[in-house]
Structure 1
Amino acid sequence: MADNNSSAGGEVSLKQINDKVIIVQILVIIFLCINLLLIVTFFRKECFYTTARYILFAVTLLSDSFILLMSNILLIMNHFNFTIQVWLCIIISVVVLLYVIVTPVTLTAMTLERFVAICMPLRHAELCSTRSTIHCILIIHGLSSVRCIVILSAFFASASLSVYKQSKVCSVEMFMLYRWHDHLRSAVSQFYFLIMCIIIVFSYVKIMKVAKAASGENKKSTWKGLRTVILHGFQLLLCLIQLWCPLIEAAVFQIDLMLFINVRYATYILFNVTPKCLSPLIYGLRDETFFNALKNYVFFGFCYLFLCWIHKLTTHCCCCLIFFGSFCLH
């Protein structure tokens, strides 16, 4: 009887984990489809890919979509205990570690763009030109790669050559061979976000001063920019908590395995998947120009699908009528 109960409990636990994985797949597919729709809309109008804030918005969409896809693949591999060689995991992890930071750094750059637009309007066209934005994207990727280089350098300095030939379940935690590796990763992440928070607060205070001094339409535009900065700050907070999650999970793992699984699932949904849907909310829906383009694209897309359906229906009807007519003549 005890054996039956324990096996039944194991089946329930496995079923719960499977249900959770299915829920994650549904959420990831939904957010990827939304991001894909926004990316297609971005490339449909010239004013979007020649304006700094829309270009940076597209960078966040691509970065979020890529991280969602890669983290989901790693989640499935971990769920089924699928092992790969360490050297291949290093290549995958380089990309993941890079683009986890690209999004918050890009959000900070978008905050600075709003600061320049509102507080330095006469220099906005010069500082936020298309050429300058391309250079900014390269700088963003360069700054974002520092954390990845630090983490992997510590791993390369500590790991023996035999480690690279082993097969393991791929995760970033695999590179944390010693306790000080965790502390180093945490220190670098917190340094990033200290700088980002300073920039956010600085931009907020400066825009607030301009908002109080502005009047009429200019004041309305300034307060809209201020709300955008606040939303960027909230999204950065979620990203910061996401980088603290490994420390929380490591502490929970020492207490109970099932609690660790539940906590990891909750943190993945709240602090990994959720921030990825805030970018579409901030710029895809709140921005009037982008929202109108998106609305028209979706409307005409549905119209096109409807016309295709009507065309196929009439074609089949005509074929049936021709066949029936020929049958009657015979």
Structure 2
Amino acid sequence: MNERVILVQVIVLLFISINCLMMATFFMKDCFYSTMRYILFAITLLSDSLFLVITNILLNFTYFRLTMQIWLCVIVYIVLSIYTFVTPVTLTAMTLERYVAVCMPLRHGEICSTRNTINCILIIHALSSVPCVAVLSTFFTYASRSFFTQDRICSVEIFIFYTWQGHLRSTVSEFYFSIMCITIVVSYVKIMKVAKAASGEDKQSSRKGLRTVAVHGFQLLLCLIQLWCPFIEAAVLQINFLLFINVRYFNYITFTLAPRCLSPLIYGLRDEKFVHVLKYYALCGLYKKHNLF
């Protein structure tokens, strides 16, 4: 088990370092932090990094059976819950940006301006907060004051007193992911229609938009798998605590760590402009300068 713990720490540290390198690359070029899709990509990097750090800390707390007071766990849960949804909601926003770029090219500059990007980020965080509010509002209704000073292993299960609260949490999550999936599918179909009707450079741009939307759909699917982990873990917790620890580690590596690590690599390394700048700075200038400089 100790080898597993060390392995997870190495993997988390590796991919957080990669995310930090990508974030540094993002700030190296003006065209990155003034373009909507790159700004949203940076939001996913920050979200995934924060998510990996917090979940890794909670996982080690669970493994070593370290407890914390409920009020502190509530704060941790608020941050974790919000950033669980920030990445998939941002992916949906990036899909809509590609839809506007391909299907409404004349209005792309107006709709995807820097000012609208800031408003979009605020909307993303507001929408990501709704599931957290839904869970905690029911929790605060039934929790007594003395409950907040108790020491427990921090887990989402401690906020659920009744079965219907778990169903509510599941319903809200599934509703969100259904809306996001529908948005991506509709955008893909619309872009595909434009791609068939386009010609020359427009056709090439449309095909690139199709590939990007398909990538976002795959990233969203990876995030969707993670949705089922808490329900599996809650059932196992009722059977055996040691088994719960083993299952949580397996779920964390397979359905939480892997998707969050793959997500930035999938998008960042397929963007030609971004990957050229990334190679240049990662190799300390040894990589041949590209004409983008």
Please tell me the TM-score bracket, short chain as reference.
over 0.9
1:56-88 superposed Cα distances (whole Å, 9 cap, x missing partner):
000000000000011111111111111111111
The structure in which a higher percent of residues are helix is 1
CA distance in 2, matches of 1:75, 1:125: 44
Which residue does 1:263 correspond to in 2?
247
Q: Secondary structure at 1:190's aligned position in 2?
A: helix
- Which AA in structure 1 matches 2:114? T
CA distance in 2, matches of 1:88, 1:302: 47
Which residue does 1:3 correspond to in 2?
none
Shift of 1:248: 2.0
- Which of residues 73, 79, 87 in structure 2 aligns to 1:89? 73
CA distance in 1, matches of 2:218, 2:237: 28
Which residue does 2:291 correspond to in 1?
none
CA distance in 2, matches of 1:262, 1:170: 16
- Which of residues 18, 26, 31 in structure 2 aligns to 1:47? 31
Q: Which moved more, 1:29-38 or 1:159-168?
A: 159-168
Which residue does 2:275 correspond to in 1?
291
- Which AA in structure 1 matches 2:60? I
Q: CA RMSD in A?
A: 1.6
User: Is residue 245 from structure 1 mapped to residue 229 from structure 2 by the alignment?
Assistant: yes
User: Is residue 208 from structure 1 mapped to residue 192 from structure 2 by the alignment?
Assistant: yes
- Which AA in structure 2 matches 1:54? Y
User: Is residue 196 from structure 1 mapped to residue 158 from structure 2 by the alignment?
Assistant: no
Q: 1:218 to 1:155 in 2, by over 3 A?
A: same
Which residue does 1:37 correspond to in 2?
21
Q: Which moved more, 1:176-185 or 1:118-127?
A: 176-185
Which residue does 1:186 correspond to in 2?
170
CA distance in 2, matches of 1:225, 1:281: 18
1:15-47 superposed Cα distances (whole Å, 9 cap, x missing partner):
xx2222111111101110000000000001100
1:108-154 superposed Cα distances (whole Å, 9 cap, x missing partner):
00000000001110110000001100000000001110111111111
Which residue does 1:153 correspond to in 2?
137
Which residue does 2:204 correspond to in 1?
220
Which residue does 2:259 correspond to in 1?
275
Gapped regions of structure 1 (runs ≥ 5): 1-16, 304-330
Shift of 1:254: 4.5
**TM-score normalised by L of structure 2:** 0.93
Shift of 1:301: 6.0
Structure of higher CA gyration radius: 1
Q: Secondary structure at 2:278's aligned position in 1?
A: helix
Provide runs of 4+ in structure 1 moved above 6 Å.
none
Q: 1:172 to 1:301 in 2, by over 3 A?
A: farther
- Which AA in structure 1 matches 2:150? Q
CA distance in 2, matches of 1:141, 1:132: 14
User: Is residue 173 from structure 1 mapped to residue 157 from structure 2 by the alignment?
Assistant: yes
1:252-295 superposed Cα distances (whole Å, 9 cap, x missing partner):
44555555443322221122111212332233210010011101
- Which AA in structure 2 matches 1:120? M
- Which AA in structure 2 matches 1:201? V
Q: 1:81 to 1:260 in 2, by over 3 A?
A: closer
Gapped regions of structure 2 (runs ≥ 5): 288-293
Q: 1:118 to 1:258 in 2, by over 3 A?
A: same
Shift of 1:176: 1.5
Q: Which moved more, 1:267-276 or 1:152-161?
A: 267-276
User: Is residue 102 from structure 1 mapped to residue 50 from structure 2 by the alignment?
Assistant: no
Q: 1:60 to 1:230 in 2, by over 3 A?
A: same
Count of matched residue pairs: 287
- Which of residues 134, 137, 142 in structure 1 aligns to 2:118? 134
**Contact 1:283–1:290 (8 Å) recurs in 2:** no
Q: Secondary structure at 2:68's aligned position in 1?
A: strand
CA distance in 2, matches of 1:168, 1:253: 14
Q: Which moved more, 1:271-280 or 1:18-27?
A: 271-280
Q: 1:197 to 1:28 in 2, by over 3 A?
A: same
- Which AA in structure 2 matches 1:265? Y
